[in-house]
Chain A
Amino acid sequence: MTRAYRQALGIAAVYVAFSIFWIVFSDRLLSILVQDPAEFARLQTWKGLVFVSATALLIFALIRRVLAARALVEQDLHQINRIINRSPVVTIAWDNAPGWPVRFVNATVSQWGYSPEQLRSGQIHFADLIHPDDMQRVTQEVAHHLAQGPDDYTQEYRIRTAAGPWAWVNDRTWLERDEAGQVRGIYGVLQDISTAREAVARLEESENRLRTLIETIPDLVWMKDPEGKYLVCNPRFEQFFGAPQARIVGSTDYDFVSPELADFFREHDRQAMAAGQPCINEEWLTFAADGRRGLFETIKTPVRDGQGRLLGVLGVAREVTQAREAQEELRLLNINLEYRVAERTAELEALNRELESFSYSVSHDLKAPLRGIDGYSQLLQEDYGQQLGEDGRLFLENIRKGVAQMHQLIEDLLAYSRMERRPLEATAVDLPRLVHEVVQAETESLTRAGLQVEIQVPPLEARVDRDGLALVLRNLLENAIKFSPGAQPPLIHIEARQEQGQIQLAVRDHGIGFDMKYHDRIFRIFQRLHRAEDFPGTGIGLALVHKAMQRMGGRVWAESTPGAGATFHLELPS
């Protein structure tokens, strides 16, 4: 029985009760008060008017009350509608019938692209909107609740939006039952939770990735709260304690390792918390799971929440045993290498000393008898020359020439061996000055040979061993003088230039030159291209030049055509 029906019936009942009461009592009361029939008839007409007025008033009062109450309800309803229609929720009522025909749905259903009319008219069945994958579950759940309750329940499923994509909805439902317990209506509040579900899905995905990472990395990873209780750890860490995460979380180091080691861990946790930044330390750890021992590099980082509150210390320990072993191996190898180098150096030094004492002996002991031969042959020549005759004097002359050459040979050999051993010192050398000095020192032999030197050396400064370069220039100049008899023009050129920061020097003569096929030979020790009577020499000069340039880090080479002079090029170290 509807409310409207009850109200109308109430009004009619009040009217009937009042009318009966009036009919029964009004005439009786009037007959007691009036006996005159004419008067009675007149009053009877008035009584009828009073009845009509009274019932009209009564009906007016009753209907007005009902209508006022209804206006109030309608106003509330309007308010509720306004609120709901501006909210993200969709209110819906279904009949408990196949396909769940929609009895009511509010305007917010348009968020999925449907109008309330489409659903209420049965043009669209709600069941058709549910995702096929969710349909069976939803149906079973509804059937279960219809049969056994509870009558309030929540479901989550997908519905198709008019545009095509699926929307996740949260459906809070309650069931209306009649006296017999039969479900008469199904009412629901639907809310679109697609965005929230997506966020959750993304979060889950990211969590999964993170979990996979933490669970599969070979490092130990854990986090402890500020009091040292474990909050989380990874499987590798479980191996260290030899316990599952479930047992580790909530425990402290003191529950698993020796008090000394636990103190050590705790101390480093405190350091990291106090420092407010990651702290690194190294520690030897023994795995409870398999007893293996290794050296670990541990980074402890204090972790804070958004408000800056300390949440705990995050720890990551990486095994560095192998790296350390390799390092140690390398160190030992290095030591060994250093030792071997030292050994070889000592051997070389010993050899060098031997060589030194050898050349010392050469310079001292080989010269002494030579001095005797020279001295006595001269005395013999001077004191007894007349008694010797011409042949005798020639013999003596040759003996003395031999001595002089032997002497030269010894001196050159000594110079060569000195160049091999002498420590070099690169200093800033004023090139034009050095060249002039070298030429100056050879003035006598230049004059004797009738030669002049043309110097074209710009003001350059070279960083070389001064004595070494002087020796090289002197030898090249002496060489040029020696091989320039009758040269036309009677000139020796010394030139220098700088190219890309590198200084090049050249000593050029117009002498006899040499065949380029002998180029490499002339720089080798004791190698000579001429007979001693033509050009005297020991075969050491150019070898000495080569050795000196090599030791100074420079280069020497020559260019020549027989009969057209020779040019010796020097390249100084840059």
Chain B
Amino acid sequence: MNQATPPILLVEDNPVDLDLTLRAFKRKHLSNPILIARDGEEALDFLPRWEADEPLPAVILLDLKLPKVDGLEVLRQLKEHPRFRRIPVVVLTSSAEDRDMDSAYALGVNSYIVKPVSFERFMEVAEHIELYWCVLNRKPE
């Protein structure tokens, strides 16, 4: 795996949203490999893999409403981890509820983005995310 292009972890249960996200990234010619978790449990399964020295993702895109273990719980466990707490987590959700936003920020989320309904806008968002978190943003090695 290429050191220069770390992966992006996409946690998304909805197959339509997942497919559209992948298509949006593809249309915007994203170079990062995409890792996928279809629920909270699968997301947390990455933790032992990273401990076994798999490369850490540049950013984790996390949906909130997930089967088995919900997004906020995944976020909590990530942000409590001594090492992986540094991985930027961007919540990408349909919910614009204050309650969800408050909880996410209280747990230490790095960014909170409401999924736009319009695919046009969604592609712009995908581009922004890639540009910001994978290119512009610097973080300690």
Listed in ascending order, the chain A residues whose CB lies under 8 Å from chain B are: 356, 359-360, 363-365, 367-372, 374-376, 378-379, 403-404, 407, 414, 418, 422
Contact = CB atoms under 8 A, between A and B. Distances in A.
A364 B100 CA distance: 11
B17 to A, nearest CB: 6
Contacts of A407: 117-118
Contacts of B16: 368-369, 371-372, 375-376
Given A364-B65, A368-B16, A368-B17, A375 B95 contact: no
6 contacts: A359-B97, A364-B65, A372-B16, A375-B122, A376-B20, A378-B119
A368 B120 contact: no
B94 A368 contact: yes
B77 interface: no
Given A369-B16, A371-B17, A371-B20, A363 B96 contact: yes
A371 B23 CA distance: 13
A407 B65 CA distance: 20
A359 B16 CA distance: 22
Contacts of A374: 117-119
Contacts of B32: none
Contacts of B117: 367, 370-371, 374, 403, 407
Q: Which of B23, B97, B99 has the most CB of A within 10 A?
A: B97
A367 B118 contact: no
Residue among A363, A369, A403, A418 with the highest chain B CB neighbour number at 10 A:
A363
A483 to B, nearest CB: 26
A378 B116 CA distance: 14
Contacts of B93: 364
Given A360-B95, A364-B93, A364-B95, 4 more contacts: A371-B122, A374-B117, A375-B23, A379-B23
Given A368-B17, A372-B16, A379 B119 contact: yes
A359 B100 CA distance: 13
Nearest to B96: A363
Which of B16, B94, B98, B117 is the most central at the interface, judged by chain A CB atoms within 10 Å of its CB? B117
Interface in B1-53: 14, 16-17, 20, 23
Nearest to A367: B94
Contacts, number: 55
B86 interface: no
B115 interface: yes
Interface string B101-141: 00000000000000111111010000000000000000000
B97 A378 contact: no
Which of A360, A365, A407 has the largest count of B CB atoms less than 10 A from its CB? A360
A422 B14 CA distance: 30
Given A360-B97, A375-B122, A414-B96, A367 B115 contact: yes
A370 B16 CA distance: 10
The 10 closest A-B pairs by CB, nearest first: A372-B16, A375-B119, A375-B20, A364-B94, A407-B117, A378-B119, A367-B94, A374-B119, A371-B117, A370-B117
Contacts of A376: 16, 20
Interface string B77-99: 00000000000000001111111
Interface string B53-70: 000000000000100000
A371 B119 contact: yes
A374 B123 CA distance: 12
Contacts of A365: 94
A521 B98 CA distance: 31
A356 to B, nearest CB: 8
A203 B93 CA distance: 96
User: Which of A364, A367, A418 has the largest count of B CB atoms less than 10 A from its CB?
Assistant: A364
A565 to B, nearest CB: 34
Contacts of B17: 368, 371-372
A356 B100 CA distance: 12
A372 B20 contact: yes
A410 to B, nearest CB: 8
Contacts of B122: 371, 375
A371 B115 contact: yes
A363 B20 contact: no
B14 A368 contact: yes
A313 to B, nearest CB: 68
B97 A363 contact: yes
B118 A404 contact: yes
A429 to B, nearest CB: 20
B114 to A, nearest CB: 9
Contact of A363 (B14, B94, B120): B94
Contacts of B20: 371-372, 375-376
A376 B116 CA distance: 14
A372 B119 CA distance: 8
Nearest to B119: A375
A494 to B, nearest CB: 28
B115 A363 contact: no
Contacts of A379: 23, 119
Contacts of A378: 119-120
Contact of B95 (A363, A371, A404, A422): A363
Contacts of A356: 99
Contacts of B23: 375, 379
A403 B121 CA distance: 14
Contacts of A368: 14, 16-17, 94
A376 B15 CA distance: 13
Contacts of A375: 16, 20, 23, 119, 122
Contacts of B98: 418, 422
Contacts of A363: 94-97
A374 B119 CA distance: 6
Q: Which one of A359, A369, A371, A374 has the highest number of Cβ atoms from chain B below 10 Å of its Cβ? A: A371
Nearest to B93: A364
B96 to A, nearest CB: 6
A378 to B, nearest CB: 4
A365 B115 CA distance: 12
Contacts of B14: 368
B46 to A, nearest CB: 24
Contacts of B119: 371, 374-375, 378-379
B40 to A, nearest CB: 15
